[in-house]
Structure 1
Amino acid sequence: MKASMITAWWSLDPVLRIALHTGLALLLLSAASHKLRGFRAFKAALAGYDLVSDRWLTEVSRLVIGFELVTGLSLLLLGGFVPALAVAALLAMYTFAIAINLRRGRRDIDCGCAGPARHVPLGPGLVGRNILLIAAALIAVLPATPRSLVWLDAVTVFAAVAMLALLYSAAETALANAGRLRSADHSLLTEAMES
């Protein structure tokens, strides 16, 4: 098999790669912005996971936000293998923290991922969402196939990122609503059992 065929198979069209890098970078920068604007709420959400000592909670909260900012900016401005891999690692860490707490039966704590204005309780949907995001980040690690970009590629990237943002927003709303419904069902069941 020729080396050029292997390279072509293990590479992405540059438009797809740019769209993935941009979408993931904007997601991280938006998440960091939510956390900065609602630092106390994020710190409380992180405390709810019960994975960090109270002594280190402020520092770890700042570290998480800083890592999101640096990783998001690196992916947006530099692109490449290392920033995309760092995004996948960060998302894997979040997924692991969620999975640990789901295993503990702690579904009612806030994930800390939607900002202070919206409470999104932990659930398997968050794990699924994060696995899809990790897959996107791992795909974004692949090099771009060399080709010239034309003006239509910029339009395609913009449309793809806008579509990804809308899909992500819809998924976030669905996850938040599912959590509310689960809480309401639990409350109704508890009331019925007490009657």
Structure 2
Amino acid sequence: MELLRDPVWLTAVSLGLALLFGAAGWHKLRNRAGFSAILQSYALLPERLVRPAALLVPWLELAAAAGLLISSGYPLAAVPGAALLLAYAAAMALSLLKGRRIADCGCHFGAQHQAVSAALVWRNLLLSGLALSLLQAPRSRELGVYDGLVIAAVLLCGCVLYLLANSLIANQQTARELSL
């Protein structure tokens, strides 16, 4: 568990989550009507709260991204970031439990539409766990040039794994639909 306290790990996770929240918040701000429609499809909020939520959520994501970019802000930004991810997982899980088929989860920045699934719930739970790993006190050591390269490599691998997991989830859903 010492690895989870290493500043290289904490920095890579913080930057990766900042990238995720920043891109998500930016996309939602650029397409507020589309995000509002997605929120409405979940049918978890009263109609009068859908539009205010569609305005608030992107700013919460951008605030989490900004907090995660500040190195001393690991613990500060980890909690709201994890809370957002847990809220997304809960919204998806509730929709699945109620038997709703939601065609677009709203989490792919408009690049593709992906139906809400249990795999997406688990993905968000895993991401919230990553965010909460930032709450650990970092091991005290200076970061060097080599550490910067390792952080860049971990960040790149994390992005590739995230995109690969999303593709596998989407392909699983497509295969399931084709076999019906």
- TM-score under structure 2 length normalisation: 0.92
1:124 aligned residue:
118
2:27 aligned residue:
34
Task: Check if 1:138 corresponds to 2:136.
Answer: no
Query: Which residues of 2 match residues 58-69 of structure 1 at below 5 A?
Result: 58-69=51-62
Q: Distance in 1 between matches of 2:74 and 2:143?
A: 17
2:18 aligned residue:
25
Q: C-alpha deviations, 1:38-70, integer Å up to 9, x for none?
A: 222211111110011222211101111110000
Report which of the two structures shows the higher radius of gyration computed on alpha carbons: 1
Q: Distance in 2 between matches of 1:178 and 1:70?
A: 33
Kept in 2, the 8 Å contact 1:10–1:142? The answer is no
Kept in 1, the 8 Å contact 2:4–2:10? The answer is no
Over 4 Å off, 4+ runs: 8-11
2:41 to 26, 31, 48: 48
Q: CA RMSD in A?
A: 1.8
- DSSP 3-state at the match of 1:80: helix
The percentage of counterpart residues that share the same residue type is 36
Unaligned runs of 5+ in 1: 1-7, 190-195
After TM superposition, give the deviation of residue 182 of structure 1 in Å.
3.0
Q: C-alpha deviations, 1:53-93, integer Å up to 9, x for none?
A: 22221110111111000011111124321201111111111
After TM superposition, give the deviation of residue 107 of structure 1 in Å.
3.1
Residues matched between the structures, number: 179
Quick one: structure 1 residues 11 and 167, their matched pair in 2 at CA, closer, same or farther if it must change by over 3 Å?
closer
- DSSP 3-state at the match of 2:5: coil
- TM-score under structure 1 length normalisation: 0.85
Quick one: structure 1 residues 140 and 65, their matched pair in 2 at CA, closer, same or farther if it must change by over 3 Å?
same
Q: Distance in 2 between matches of 1:119 and 1:88?
A: 24
Task: Check if 1:156 corresponds to 2:150.
Answer: yes
Q: Which amino acid aligns with 2:114?
A: V
Kept in 2, the 8 Å contact 1:11–1:145? The answer is no
Quick one: structure 1 residues 45 and 170, their matched pair in 2 at CA, closer, same or farther if it must change by over 3 Å?
same
